[in-house]
A and B are shown apart, each in its own frame.
Chain A
Amino acid sequence: MKNNRPDSRPVFLNLLRIRQPVTALTSIGHRISGVLLFLSIPVLIMLLDRSLSGPQGFAEVVAWGEGPLIKLVLLLLVWAAVHHFFAGIRFLLLDVDLGIDLETARKTAKIVNMAGGIGVLIAVVVML
């Protein structure tokens, strides 16, 4: 593409080096967590099915949840669920014009971003 327009400006779009506003992190986190949760749905239904199939199936699901690698995956999903839950509530409130001014929107975005981490900490304590 020719770049000889008088108003042409340099383009710098390395997403890893642009400092994203806190509200953008909440937003992309909502999207990433949503995709992760979507991928976990069949596993969740499978576990529900197995756990309700009989005492042996129930014991299998409980034992499955004790695996260290599984626990790490579960922690990731706890982050996804908690972030998605609170970011979603924030978006619902924004829909009805609550917290729409920039200062409040930044504050609630920070709270939402922290909630995911707090959820993971609580999950770690529960798992130990």
Chain B
Amino acid sequence: MSAGASGYRAWLLQRVSAVYMALYTIFFLFSWLAGAPANYFEWHSWMGSLPVALATTLFFLSLLGHAWVGVRDVLIDYVKPVELRFTLLMVVAFAIIAMGLWVVKVLLMGIV
């Protein structure tokens, strides 16, 4: 079986993205515990700094890659008719790509 067909890459993507998201979540919670932004200007300057904006963009891209593998597994497990399964997978794939572009626009082209 080829590496592409074995599911190894999906398995690895699921885990690498999970570890990154866990680390980001801990970072996010601790920086908010240290002082949550009280108004728009604090929030904007925190999220608008390049390291935070990049880390947050990577969080969302990890989230979307992770969600793709997870939702794909769920659809393959529960949706048996091939046409419906394919249609739903394509809808989810396009939605995930759209959300990825959206988040890059908001975080990297909007505020940094």
Contact = CB atoms under 8 A, between A and B. Distances in A.
- Say if A and B assemble together: yes
Interface stretch (A7-15, A52-60, A72-80): A52-60
B70 A41 contact: no
Counting chain A CB atoms within 10 Å of each CB, the highest count among B22, B39, B106 belongs to B106
A95 interface: yes
Contact of B74 (A31, A51, A59): A31
A35 interface: yes
A54 B106 contact: no
B102 to A, nearest CB: 6
Contacts of B47: 52
Nearest to B26: A85
B17 to A, nearest CB: 10
B110 to A, nearest CB: 7
B55 interface: no
Interface residues of B, number: 27
How would you classify the secondary structure of chain B's contact residues: helix, strand, loop or mixed?
helix
A62 to B, nearest CB: 9
A95 B12 CA distance: 11
A92 B43 contact: no
A24 B18 CA distance: 21
Given A38-B67, A52-B110, A45 B102 contact: yes
A54 to B, nearest CB: 7
Nearest to B11: A95
Interface residues of A, number: 22
A52 B45 CA distance: 10
B106 A92 contact: no
Interface string A20-52: 000000000001001101100110010011011
19 contacts: A35-B70, A35-B71, A35-B74, A37-B67, A42-B99, A45-B102, A45-B103, A45-B106, A48-B107, A49-B102, A49-B106, A51-B43, A52-B43, A52-B47, A52-B48, A52-B111, A55-B41, A92-B15, A95-B15
Interface of B: 15, 18-19, 22, 25, 39-41, 43-44, 47-48, 60, 63-64, 67, 70-71, 74, 95, 99, 102-103, 106-107, 110-111
Given A52-B44, A92-B15, A95-B15, 7 more contacts: A31-B70, A35-B74, A42-B95, A45-B106, A52-B43, A52-B47, A88-B22
